[in-house]
Amino acid sequence: MNIRKIVSYTEDVLTEGGRPVDPRARTAVVLAVLQNPWAGRGFVEDLAPGIEEFASPLGALLAPRVVAALGAPIEAYGKAAVVGLDGEVEHGSALIHTLKFGDHFRQAASATTLLPAVEKRAAAGTTFDIPLKHITDATIRSHHQSIEVRLADAPRADEIVVGLAAAAQGRPQARLAPLSSER
């Protein structure tokens, strides 16, 4: 796996709606920018060998980093793959839509739900939103949120940006009724 760089950052929301958020609402994102193993090879019918080679090591690399960046128990999580213009959306999906990748994060977060995801093909500098849902119950509305991400120099045409996002809480000042209240 040829990784050009790893980017980590956190966001702390201290006020929302003109009111303090206490404790702060923290979200962390870790992104790996890697060479697309399928780019420039024409249409690749069988993606399985690349999935086998890259998905698990990538999940093992990113999961502990996002846990450390968050620095708190994870309550919501999500994933992303943005493929450069010489690749296909399916290339990013191949890496992140497999248990070989996602189970590393599920285990690190003690999660039981599916990881919500975004995947797209785009040029360097594109903005994308990583969706997050609660780690054990995807119907908990307060944890339906997203975080906006952008890397100025990635993905290059032959790269994929793969990322994980985690939140220590739901949306700041969340006050929607539980889904179960609707009949």
The domain ranges of the chain are 3-181
What confidence tier does 182 reach under pLDDT thresholds 50, 70, 90?
confident
What confidence tier does 177 reach under pLDDT thresholds 50, 70, 90?
confident
Q: Is the pLDDT of residue 94 over 80?
A: yes
What confidence tier does 176 reach under pLDDT thresholds 50, 70, 90?
confident
Distance in angstroms (rounded) separating the CA atoms of residues 91 and 51 = 9
Tell me the DSSP string of 104-168.
HHHHHHT--SPPPEEEEE--TT-EEEEEEEESS-TT-GGG-EEEEEE-TT---TTEEEEEEEEES
Contact 149, 29 (CB under 8 A): yes
CATH superfamily of 3-181: BB2672 (3.30.1330.110)
Q: Is the pLDDT of residue 183 over 90?
A: no
Distance in angstroms (rounded) separating the CA atoms of residues 67 and 81 = 19
Percentage of residues in the chain having pLDDT higher than 70: 99
Q: Is the pLDDT of residue 170 over 70?
A: yes
50-91 per-position pLDDT tens digit: 999 999 999 999 999 999 999 999 999 999 999 999 999 999
Contact 168, 77 (CB under 8 A): no
pLDDT for the residue 179: 75
pLDDT for the residue 165: 98
Distance in angstroms (rounded) separating the CA atoms of residues 94 and 130 = 17
Q: Is the pLDDT of residue 9 over 80?
A: yes
